[in-house]
């Protein structure tokens, strides 16, 4: 079967996981309760400093309020349906998870606020569209859609600057991680990525986010 006719099962699975976590949080104390957010795995620097590094992973499945959940899952659906077909299910999943962790690492390094949400991963998917536009600019459709996403990224980041309660560092971290990770995982359903670009992207991911993680541990000093 042609991969472009397969159902986006990873996208559906990610949506299901987010919904199940939201229901569980709602039943156990609410999704806007700071204590419950921390209990379920939100990004919380004092506990990350104490060794709970899994908190750089779990926030991408946690949402603060129904509006937050609905907006992110709607975005995930529209982005995921297309990108999962382009990258393939396992590459798409890797891209999504790497972006989420990358966003949370930059947020950990530069923000002391409790944070959660799939938007770190979603900005990584935006970054994947930028990679496609850079690598396959000869494809008129990809060039057009990547320019549209560039405008959308600028508008979203501009909104982040003036809206309260939004983790812009998480968004920026996810965007960069997704851009690099999309080179690293490759997109065989569209075309080949030069081997050197893939190697450089892997090295950049490890070095940049390793340094950011170290920055976070150096920046936030909490008593154990």
Residues with a known catalytic role: 119, 171
| Bridge partners for 191 per DSSP | 187
- What's the token pair of residue 212? 């950011």
Alpha-carbon span 60 to 100, nearest angstrom: 6
CA-based torsion, 208, 205, 123, 143: positive or negative: positive
Alpha-carbon span 38 to 155, nearest angstrom: 30
Collect all residues with Cβ–Cβ distance below 8 Å to 155 and sequence separation of at least 6: none
Q: Is 94 exposed, middle or buried (0-12, 13-18, 19+ CB in 10 A)?
A: middle
Alpha-carbon span 150 to 144, nearest angstrom: 10
Give backbone dihedrals phi and psi of 220, rounded to 5 degrees, phi first. Answer: -105, 110
- What's the token pair of residue 196? 């050197």
């Amino acid at each position: 079967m042609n991969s472009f006719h397969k159902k986006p099962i990873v996208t559906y699975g990610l949506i299901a996981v987010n919904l199940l976590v939201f229901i569980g949080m709602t039943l156990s104390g609410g999704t806007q309760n700071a204590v419950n957010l921390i209990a379920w795995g939100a990004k919380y620097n004092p506990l990350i400093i104490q060794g709970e590094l899994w908190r750089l992973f779990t926030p991408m499945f946690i949402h603060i309020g129904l509006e937050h959940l609905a907006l992110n899952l709607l975005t995930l659906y529209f982005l995921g349906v297309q990108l999962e077909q382009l990258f393939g299910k396992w590459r798409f999943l890797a891209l999504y998870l790497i972006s989420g962790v990358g966003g949370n690492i930059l947020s950990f390094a530069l923000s002391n606020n409790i944070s959660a949400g799939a938007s770190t991963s979603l900005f990584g998917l935006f970054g994947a569209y930028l990679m496609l536009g850079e690598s396959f600019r000869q494809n008129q459709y990809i060039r057009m859609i990547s320019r549209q996403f560039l405008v959308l990224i600028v508008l979203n980041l501009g909104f982040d600057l003036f809206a309260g309660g939004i983790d812009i560092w998480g968004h920026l971290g996810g965007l960069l991680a997704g851009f690099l990770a999309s080179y690293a995982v490759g997109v065989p359903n569209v075309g080949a990525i030069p081997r050197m670009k893939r190697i450089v992207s892997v090295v950049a991911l490890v070095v940049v986010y390793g340094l950011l993680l170290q920055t976070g541990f150096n920046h936030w000093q909490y008593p154990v």
